[in-house]
């Protein structure tokens, strides 16, 4: 098994038929056709083993997640994904591992009609870098800097699930390490672990936010951290109602209120969208979302005073949990 055999496996499993790929994998560079009137949106995200996912994560899930986190960044811009490149560093030329990895990547690529058009394959500690490309009509991008005082603050889906899934995974790992019995996870636990391992980027809702949302970001590092970026970029602040934060059935079942709140406010890896919008757009957006089956929840509002304040049901200020994940701290 050599580098070119691994590339052949990836190429075969990720085959796609997009007409705008003039030249895909196989030459020194891909050639891609951008339709007139469209801007190219480009974003890169790296996943490092042991940092972004536990070492024993299944290769299928690593492949899925490496594309999902990138798709989520494009969703946060309101872009339609089109092409990806994949820089894959693996410790060994393991055909079975690479095949499963490519299957996970390809499953999500097919779902959103993304063509894998190139990459690089090297040996070293497991690390995956994906660059994603997409189209957006000129002037339609959803920026972090557009939030306005008086906007509602909204999120898609539910918050805290992936961080809860990580806790459950880690608890099981330490049980196993201590040779304690670790019974198979219950359905609710499985649902949370699934949200950690196979996040679903909010591509469909993102396209409905064009022309409606004033600002948007994906929740990768935790709501407070990511909404904080929106507030900083927009020169505004936000007030969040803790009671309004959307929680999944599984999170409600397995975690007490305080832990839940901390996971929802500061837990990373959910890949939901957080956006701000003039409430005049809410009714039409809800109607469109009903068709795609996606949910949104209003969790607060944009205010002039900088910083984010979180309030409980009685309107009392809550001390926020430590803000989201940051490298080098
Ligand atoms: P070069 O030596 O010219 O950089 P490579 O030998 O690295 O070319 O790659 C050969 C072809 O395979 C190129 O088209 C490259 O884009 C593609 N490729 C290499 N690795 C990957 C990968 N992990 N995923 C997708 N395409 C890849
Ligand atoms: Mg190369």
Encode pLDDT of 56-94 as tens digits: 999 999 999 999 999 999 999 999 999 999 999 999 999
Is the CB of 5 within 6 Å of ligand 1?
A: no
Q: What is the pLDDT of residue 182?
A: 74
Between CA 281 and CA 262 the distance in angstroms is 30
According to DSSP, the residues that pair with 119 across neighbouring strands are 86
- Residue 322 pLDDT > 70: no
Is the CB of 26 within 6 Å of ligand 1?
A: yes
Tokens of 326: 């940051």
Ramachandran area for residue 159 (φ above 0: left; ψ -120 to 50: alpha; else beta): beta
- Residue 226 pLDDT > 70: yes
The closest residue, in CA terms, to atom 13 on ligand 1 is 26
Is the CB of 2 within 6 Å of ligand 1?
A: no
Residues found in the chain:
329
Atom of ligand 1 nearest to the CA of 116: 25
Encode pLDDT of 156-182 as tens digits: 999 999 999 999 999 988 888 898 887
β-pair type (80-90, 127-137): antiparallel
Q: Tell which one of 119, 127, 131 to mutate to probe ligand 1, the residue whose CB is within 8 A of the most ligand atoms.
A: 119
The closest residue, in CA terms, to atom 16 on ligand 1 is 118
Q: What is the pLDDT of residue 75?
A: 98
Encode pLDDT of 249-291 as tens digits: 999 999 999 999 999 999 999 999 999 999 999 999 999 998 8
What letter would DSSP give residue 157? S
Residue 328: pLDDT band by 50, 70, 90 thresholds? low
| Cβ contact 13:88 at 8 Å | no
Q: Which residues fall inside 5 Å of ion ligand 2, going by CB? A: 120
- Residue 41 pLDDT > 70: yes
- Residue 323 pLDDT > 60: no
- Residue 325 pLDDT > 60: no
The closest residue, in CA terms, to atom 3 on ligand 1 is 28
């Amino acid at each position: 098994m050599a580098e070119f055999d691994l590339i052949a496996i990836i190429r075969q499993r990720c085959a796609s038929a997009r007409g705008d790929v003039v030249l895909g994998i196989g030459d020194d560079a891909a050639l891609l056709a951008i339709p007139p009137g469209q801007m190219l949106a480009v974003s890169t995200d790296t996943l490092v083993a042991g940092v972004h996912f536990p070492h024993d994560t299944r290769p299928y899930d690593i492949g899925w997640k490496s594309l999902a986190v990138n798709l989520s960044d494009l969703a946060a811009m309101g872009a339609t994904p089109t092409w990806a490149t994949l820089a894959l560093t693996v410790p060994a030329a393991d055909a079975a591992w690479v095949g499963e990895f490519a299957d996970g990547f390809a499953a999500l690529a097919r779902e959103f009609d993304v063509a894998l058009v190139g990459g690089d394959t090297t040996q070293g500690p497991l690390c995956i870098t994906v660059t994603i490309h997409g189209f957006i009509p000129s002037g339609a991008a959803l920026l972090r800097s557009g939030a306005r005082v008086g906007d509602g603050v909204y999120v898609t889906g539910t918050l805290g699930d992936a961080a809860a899934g990580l806790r459950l995974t880690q608890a099981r790992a330490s049980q196993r390490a201590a040779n304690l019995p670790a019974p198979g996870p219950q359905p609710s636990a499985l649902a949370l672990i699934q949200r950690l391992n196979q996040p679903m980027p909010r591509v469909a809702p993102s396209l409905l936010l064009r022309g409606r949302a004033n600002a948007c970001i994906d929740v990768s590092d935790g709501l407070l951290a990511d909404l904080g970026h929106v507030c900083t970029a927009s020169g505004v602040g936000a007030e969040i109602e803790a009671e309004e934060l959307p929680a999944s059935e599984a999170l409600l079942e397995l975690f007490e209120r305080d832990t839940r709140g901390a996971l929802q406010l500061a837990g990373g890896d959910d890949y939901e969208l957080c956006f701000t919008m003039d409430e005049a757009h809410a009714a039409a957006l809800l109607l469109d979302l009903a068709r795609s089956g996606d949910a949104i929840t209003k969790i607060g509002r944009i205010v002039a005073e900088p910083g984010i304040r979180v309030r409980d049901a009685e309107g009392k200020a809550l001390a926020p949990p430590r803000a989201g994940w940051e490298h080098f701290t």
